[in-house]
Amino acid sequence: MSWKKLNCQPHDLQLLATLSGGQSFRWTHNTETDEWTGIFSKTVWKLKQADNCLLYQVLGSLLNFPENNGSNNKKTNFKKLLENYLRLDYDLKELYKDWSNKDELFKSAGQQFYGVRMLRQEPVENLFSFICSQNNHISRISSMVEKLCTNYGEEICKHENTVHYSFPDIEKLECPKVETQLRNLGFGYRAKFIQKSASQIVEWGGAKWFDGLQNMKYKDAKCELMKLHGIGPKVADCICLMSLNHLEALPVDTHVYQIAAQNYLPHLRGKKNVTEKMYTEIGDHFRTLYGDMAGWAHTILFCSDLKKFQLGDNSQVNECSKPKRKRKK
């Protein structure tokens, strides 16, 4: 299968931090070929960075079927799908310049962690993936998301002995028996959150319900999301930021709290828990600092502070080994 080209310079898109920094959980990296395989929009993709462009392949898709597009003659524009997913309509160089002028810490982080993009994800997948993320780590979250897909999604294609599935439609997750099934699959208390939230969304209009949230003001959309079973402020902010175009949303976890307390809000240092008041204060501080794209800007700071990434001699972001243990005194 031949590669197709997308006009995108390496400095405008850094695949490692963008695809494995905790936004999406359906991308895998082949370190030998430096190729990424992932799934979105019921389509299986392969991506690879070249010197002056992004190379991509469509390994399989459910979007080519007539019943999905309404016409035998209408073909899916996969290039536009990919451009939209990667938010290539935003000039990242200008955004980095603006954020660097506002914050010296960002200026330092931005020079090393270039090309980190905020993915434009599908709300249904985004929401249920982040329900799985509660009190969890990335490898287990990824495993849970794949279980949702293999048990409730549609088969897209088989590639290199791996069968790839789409993320399930929300109607597949609302049936009461889904909770028991998911508990048997190891989802724990998240099983109830998934089934109950799916049932609520179907009752409120299904996937189209999310369209209304995109047209709301950020705080109103967040409040609506928190009416769902098991959705707290952090998960609501993740959904607002990553799939509802509310780029000022800023999910605050203990890691984000540490960045804020250490570098911006010293009076918050030493706190054991992030209270609701602290959560709001941290988010508002970065919204004041960075403006209406504070969530995207802070994602770069978040990636730069992760132990998972480090700067190599060739100015590329690489996965690093486990941190060294401190010597006993």
Rounded Cα distance between 80 and 300, Å, is: 25
Residue indicated by tokens 């030493």:
270
State the catalytic residues: 234
For residue 184, give every residue at least 6 positions away whose Cβ sits within 8 Å of its Cβ, in sequence order, or none. none
How far is the C-alpha of 221 from the C-alpha of 264, rounded, in Å?
27
DSSP reduced 3-state for 165? strand
Distance CA 317, CA 63 (A): 34
Beta-bridged to residue 4, according to DSSP, are 56
Burial of 115 (0-12, 13-18, 19+ CB in 10 A): buried
Q: Is 7 helix (H, G, I), strand (E, B) or coil?
A: coil
Q: Is 317 helix (H, G, I), strand (E, B) or coil?
A: strand
Q: 75 - beta bridge partners? A: none
Q: How far apart are CA 321 and CA 319, in angstroms?
A: 7
